[in-house]
């Protein structure tokens, strides 16, 4: 009897599990039905907007390599922040364009409490209080003449010496009111030391978003142009940023940063690394942010501007991050997505 029953069951499975009994297009027929079965969702809550800073007054300077993206002087920040807040974007990320005259071998401008980033944090917190979060990169590349994220000595990026400056940079940004400290330098052990120092200075409420998995990538080109570190960069960043051939190593980086105290982790660049995002999400139950970097932005933006692809490609590219398991996406498109595009 049980044998007969299982044979009938098997037959039923074979029959119903196949065309013409099964037609997946049925659920795609109507718009309401597609909405009903949709597995992922994207809203402005998922977006972080990067903002480039420049000195001067009343400035909004276009960035050649990134059409549609600008550098703002401090007193012009309202132009972009009002837009971000109106669109309910939860957080902005600040990046400074530093004059050559302020750069040196050690990136000491990073520790100037009147540098562009500090001025911007103060301005935003005074004007907007806690309506919107502020995230700041911790790394020296905007401030060093050689364009590297750390201290360069005899062709080497010094790990522990760099961490000392990065810790000071973190403390300064946190004291100014930065909500989320985001070390993007890839030095070993910096999360542990930064967390410890923040706690000692009663800044235990400041979050750390670790750029845990940052690959040495060609997709950062336009960004380096935007912050003025491109022509400066000597060599490449392969001795600290990850080799894009590796996957397991990415998981080791994340495991270490979580142990050291990271509240959130980032995978960067974005679209070429969706496999890594999924894997990090599956292996660690921690918020994962994806960075759709400048090169990805410029490629899509140029395609749209030249009418080679439709602007709906923006949402398609961002939804991919959600599908891969990202909680949020740092993207230069954040302020330019029309509400109706979300549907």
- Alpha carbon 330 to its chain's center: 4
Residue 42 vs 220, nearer CB to ligand PBG: 220
Of 138, 142, 119, 135, nearest to 84 (Cα)?
A: 135
| Residues 170-209 as x/- pattern, contact with ligand PBG by CB under 6 A | --------------x-------------------------
- Select which of 103, 268, 281, 322 is catalytic: 268
Which H or E run contains 54?
Answer: strand 47-54
Residue 261 burial (10 A CB sphere; 0-12, 13-18, 19+): middle
* Binding range to ligand PBG, per CB under 6 A, among 20-28, 194-202, 220-228, 256-264: 220-228
Concatenating the DSSP letter of every residue in 193-228 gives: HHHHHHHHTT-TTSEEEEEEEEB--GGGHHHHHHTT
Size of interface with ligand PBG, in residues (CB under 6 A)? 11
Report the site for ligand PBG in 272-331 (rule: CB under 6 A): 293-294
Catalytic residue status for 57: no
* Binding range to ligand PBG, per CB under 6 A, among 28-36, 80-88, 219-227, 271-279: 219-227
Three-class SS state of 328:
strand
Q: Which of 52, 72, 220, 333 binds ligand PBG (CB under 6 A)?
A: 220
Residue 20, CA distances (Å) to 10, 279, 301 in order:
17, 36, 43
Catalytic residue status for 285: no
Report the site for ligand PBG in 130-169 (rule: CB under 6 A): 137, 139, 141, 149
> Which residues make up the interface to ligand PBG (CB under 6 A)?
137, 139, 141, 149, 184, 220, 223-224, 237, 293-294
Show which residues are catalytic: 214, 268
């Amino acid at each position: 009897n049980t044998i007969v029953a299982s044979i009938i069951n098997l037959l039923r499975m074979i029959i119903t599990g196949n065309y013409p009994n099964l037609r997946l297009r049925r659920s795609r027929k109507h718009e309401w039905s597609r909405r009903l079965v949709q597995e992922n969702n994207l809203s402005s809550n998922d977006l972080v907007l990067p903002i480039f800073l420049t000195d001067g007054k009343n400035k909004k300077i276009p960035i050649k390599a990134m059409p549609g993206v600008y550098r703002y002087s401090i007193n012009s920040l309202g132009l972009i922040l009002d837009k971000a807040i109106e669109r309910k974007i939860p957080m902005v990320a600040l990046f400074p364009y530093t004059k050559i005259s302020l750069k040196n071998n050690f990136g000491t401008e990073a520790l100037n409490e009147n540098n562009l980033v500090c001025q911007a944090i103060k301005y935003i917190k005074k004007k907007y209080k806690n309506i919107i979060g502020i995230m700041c990169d911790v790394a020296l590349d905007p401030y060093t003449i050689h364009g590297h994220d750390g201290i360069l000595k005899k062709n080497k990026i010094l790990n522990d010496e760099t961490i000392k400056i990065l810790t000071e940079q973190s403390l300064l940004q946190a004291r100014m009111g930065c909500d989320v400290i985001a070390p993007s330098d890839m030095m070993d052990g910096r999360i542990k030391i930064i967390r410890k120092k923040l706690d000692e200075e009663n800044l235990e409420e400041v979050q750390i978003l670790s750029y845990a998995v940052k690959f040495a990538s060609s997709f950062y080109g336009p960004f380096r142009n935007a912050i003025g570190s491109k022509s400066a960069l000597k060599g490449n960043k392969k001795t600290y940023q990850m080799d894009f051939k590796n996957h397991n190593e990415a998981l080791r980086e994340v495991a270490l940063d979580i142990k050291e105290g990271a509240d959130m982790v980032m995978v960067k660049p974005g679209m070429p690394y969706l496999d890594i995002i999924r894997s990090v999400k599956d292996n660690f139950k921690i918020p994962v942010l994806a960075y759709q970097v400048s090169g990805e932005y410029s490629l899509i933006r140029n395609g749209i501007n030249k009418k080679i692809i439709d602007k709906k490609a923006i949402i398609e590219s961002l939804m991919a991050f959600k599908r891969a398991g990202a909680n949020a996406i740092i993207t230069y498109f954040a302020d330019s997505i029309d509400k109706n595009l979300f549907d």
